[in-house]
Amino acid sequence: MRNKIKLGIIVFAVLIFVIQFVPVERDNPEFNAAGEIQATVDVKTILKSSCYDCHSNETVWPLYSYIAPVSWLVANDVKEGRRELNFSEWNTYEQKKKNKKAEEIKEEILEGKMPMPIYTYIHQDAKLTDLQKSILIDWFSSINLNAAAE
Ligand code: HEC
């Protein structure tokens, strides 16, 4: 029985060791100021602290993003997050797309779905306060109003 447990631990350790060699995409595309979202300092600060790790090209990759299998989850969230919404490329979006994304952003914030709870569990400071929520919602509503006036 003891030997079986020992063997199990060794197999597990070897497995964890081996999966570390699976390549993980952990790159940040080159910074391009032209694509960057133009928002008020308040809005920018909140986005940077609560959304940028998954929705920008300026991801700060934490230590745990280097350890498989957690690294696979993190890399996947960043990949999917950037595809859905990338504040480093926001300025290149057509107005129609900006409006659509602004609506989605407001919805996700109101429903408390973003930033992802699994993320705020570790990054407590990324949790949005009520004030931060209303600052974001006001700003993303205002860009839609501007669009309607155009
Ligand atoms: C830990 C990574 C992470 C963080 C931090 C994060 N997101 Fe996301 N977000 C994702 C992923 C992954 C998706 C795509 C899958 C999904 O919709 O759940 C997504 C999708 C979205 C979408 C599209 C939802 C839809 O309708 O499909 C919006 C809008 C969004 N996020 C807004 C935000 C905002 C605003 C913040 C900051 C306040 C934020 N996210 C923070 C990972 C993140």
The residues near 86 (Cβ < 8 Å, ≥ 6 apart) are: 35, 55, 56, 57
Summarised one tens digit per residue, pLDDT across range 45-95 is: 999 999 999 999 999 999 999 999 999 999 999 999 999 999 999 999 999
Taking CA atoms only, the protein residue closest to ligand 1 atom 25 is 104
Q: Long-range contacts of range 78-83, CB-CB < 8 Å, 24 or more positions apart?
A: 78/53, 78/54, 79/25, 81/54, 81/55, 82/54, 82/55, 82/56, 82/57
Gap between the Cα atoms of 11 and 64, Å rounded: 22
pTM: 0.93
Atom of ligand 1 nearest to the CA of 76: 12
Give the rounded distance of the alpha carbon of 80 from its chain centre.
9
CA of 81 to the centre of ligand 1 (A): 6
Spell out the domain ranges in the chain: 2-149
Summarised one tens digit per residue, pLDDT across range 61-75 is: 999 999 999 999 999
Taking CA atoms only, the protein residue closest to ligand 1 atom 11 is 81
| Cα torsion angle, 32, 33, 39, 44, sign | positive
